[in-house]
Homo-oligomer: A and B are copies of this chain.
Amino acid sequence: MSKPAKPRYRQLKELIIGQISAGELRPRDRVPSENELVDATGVSRMTANRALRELNDEGYVERVAGVGTFVSDFKAVSHVLEVRNIADEIERRGHNHTAIVLVQEKSAAAPGTARALRVDEGTEVFHLVLIHHENALPIQVEHRCVLMEFAPDCLQQDFTAITPSAYLSAISPLQEAEHVVRAVMPDAEIRNSLEMGDHEPCLLVSRRTWAHGRTVSFARLYHPGSRYELSGHYVPPGTEAFSRAGEYNDE
């Protein structure tokens, strides 16, 4: 008994997603046009159109009438849980971003990290610790572990020039991301690094990213509670955007 047989527009979508995942199509590359897909696969143009249109709606590609279809940068894929690059975020606010690298080494994965990355405890991974500054004020401590096979030249990178997040996006097409947000009290090291007062809480974002179905990286991002917030809003498609939230304290 044969399977229900996936519809052809779906097969086309998966073909293209597969090429993006495999790295054959990289961000900003041109995707075959509708007519080229028609010639190559024998479907009708409306079917190719539907495949590309849905890939566009889902953020995989961006289409420009009269020009063509191009692979998106990952950030465009996810307006769900945006994979924030702290440097972009700061620059979008018109501020200046700088970073200090505290640790950049190969070391054995600690138990929690090993579980997060789904590797055996003690597996060697790249370990990074950075402090990110916004206008000279520390805004994030980044503890990151990266699987060695995905970024063999990790120790040679200058992470004051390009953030680990941007570096990983560049070398590997990120496909899945998971965030867990918690409020925690920082230990002395984090508190010092972020120049925080006593009894001031941290917003801790734990982020795992995947590519090709495998975990690539696990990061713990600590932010001073008094200087950082996460925000997001949902606007149904077709509605006009509205202004962002500010601070709303009643005292």
Contacts and interface: CB of A to CB of B under 8 A. Distances in A.
Given A112-B248, A176-B242, 14 more contacts: A77-B234, A77-B236, A110-B250, A112-B250, A116-B245, A175-B239, A176-B233, A179-B230, A180-B231, A181-B181, A183-B184, A183-B225, A185-B200, A213-B239
B81 A232 contact: yes
Contacts of A17: 236, 238
Given A176-B239, A178-B233, A250 B80 contact: no
A201 B181 contact: no
27 contacts: A57-B57, A77-B234, A79-B80, A80-B232, A80-B234, A81-B232, A112-B247, A112-B250, A175-B236, A177-B233, A177-B234, A178-B244, A180-B230, A180-B231, A180-B245, A181-B203, A182-B203, A182-B225, A182-B230, A183-B183, A183-B184, A183-B201, A183-B203, A183-B204, A184-B201, A185-B200, A201-B202
A185 B224 CA distance: 12
Interface of A: 10, 13-14, 17, 57-58, 60, 77-81, 110-113, 115-116, 175-185, 199-204, 206, 208, 210, 213, 218, 223, 225, 228-239, 242, 244-250
